[in-house]
């Protein structure tokens, strides 16, 4: 059974940093791209970032480019999202999802709140 | 960026009646490999999104056959043949052909 378990969310002040983790199980992690998608309170889904299988290619939404960094550790079956210079508009539930052209499995999400 | 425009944004439906959601894209979603990476997701209240349909018309395992996807190029449709209570939620189309990936605004399905 495929499982994606996010962690690392919490409350942070504007300008602060957080690192999200997503632990994957139930599939060959190293063979699949991984993605982060976020959802602001009461809003729709927004793609954030994708990393290909070997960390060789990363993609970012313009809204987070230069502030967020996606990476993965295939030995730990984990994908990360390092979030720096956080802003109030980054407040959202962050979902980890499997895939690149499609997202066939999603985690339960972790809430990030940016507020002073 | 590819703009995904869903309609309607609110969809009240009587139980047992059909429902249809349109997703129009600002660019063709046909990729260089010949595939069209158009997906549909369902998000029930309080839950994570769940994929229903991938590559326009392929239904995921466990998705009831009352859900179907169709379309080509820039115009796509999700149809529910007979709405059931468990179908309440928000439905999103999403394109996986172009960077950045983009979602539609979401269509909220409710029971009338």
Q: Where are the beta strands (DSSP E) in B14-83?
A: 19-25, 38-43, 50-54, 58-59, 67-72, 75-80
Mean pLDDT of chain B: 97
Confidence label for B64 from pLDDT (cuts 50, 70 and 90) = very high
- Whole-number pLDDT of residue A55: 74
Tens digits of residue pLDDT in B67-103: 999 999 999 999 999 999 999 999 999 999 999 999 9
| Residue ranges of chain A with per-residue pLDDT less than 50 | none
Shortest Cα distance from A61 to chain B (angstroms)? 6
Residues of B with CB below 8 A from A38's CB? none
Residue of B33, B101, B108 best to disrupt the A interface, most CBs of A under 10 A: B101
- In 3D space, the residue among A8, A93, A68, A35 whose CA is nearest the CA of residue B101 turns out to be A35
Which residue in chain A has the smallest CA separation from B106? A44
- Whole-number pLDDT of residue A97: 98
> Residue holding tokens 């997503």?
A22
- Whole-number pLDDT of residue A4: 98
- Whole-number pLDDT of residue A33: 97
Tens digits of residue pLDDT in B10-60: 999 999 999 999 999 999 999 999 999 999 999 999 999 999 999 999 999
Q: A102 and B106 in contact by Cβ < 8 A? A: no
């Amino acid at each position: 059974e495929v499982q994606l378990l996010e962690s690392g969310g919490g409350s942070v002040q504007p300008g602060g940093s957080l690192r999200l983790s997503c632990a994957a199980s139930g599939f060959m992690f190293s063979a699949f791209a991984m993605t982060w998608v976020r959802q602001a309170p009461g809003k729709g889904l927004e793609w954030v970032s994708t990393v290909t299988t070997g960390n060789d290619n990363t993609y970012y939404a313009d809204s987070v480019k230069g502030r967020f960094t996606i990476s993965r550790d295939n030995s730990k079956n984990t994908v990360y999202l390092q979030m720096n210079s956080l802003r109030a508009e980054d407040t959202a539930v962050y979902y980890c999802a499997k895939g690149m052209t499609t997202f066939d499995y999603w985690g339960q999400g972790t809430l990030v709140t940016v507020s002073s | 960026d590819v703009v995904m425009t869903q309609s309607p944004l609110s969809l009240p439906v009587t139980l047992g009646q059909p429902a249809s959601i349109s997703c129009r894209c600002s660019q063709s979603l046909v990729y260089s490999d010949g595939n069209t990476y158009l997906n549909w997701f369902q998000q029930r209240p309080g839950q994570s999104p769940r994929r229903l349909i991938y590559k326009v018309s392929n239904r995921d395992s466990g998705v009831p056959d009352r859900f179907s996807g169709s379309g080509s190029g820039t115009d796509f449709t999700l149809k529910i043949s007979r709405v059931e209570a468990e179908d309440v939620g928000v439905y999103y189309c999403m394109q996986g052909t172009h960077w950045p990936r983009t979602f539609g605004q979401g269509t909220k399905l409710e029971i009338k």
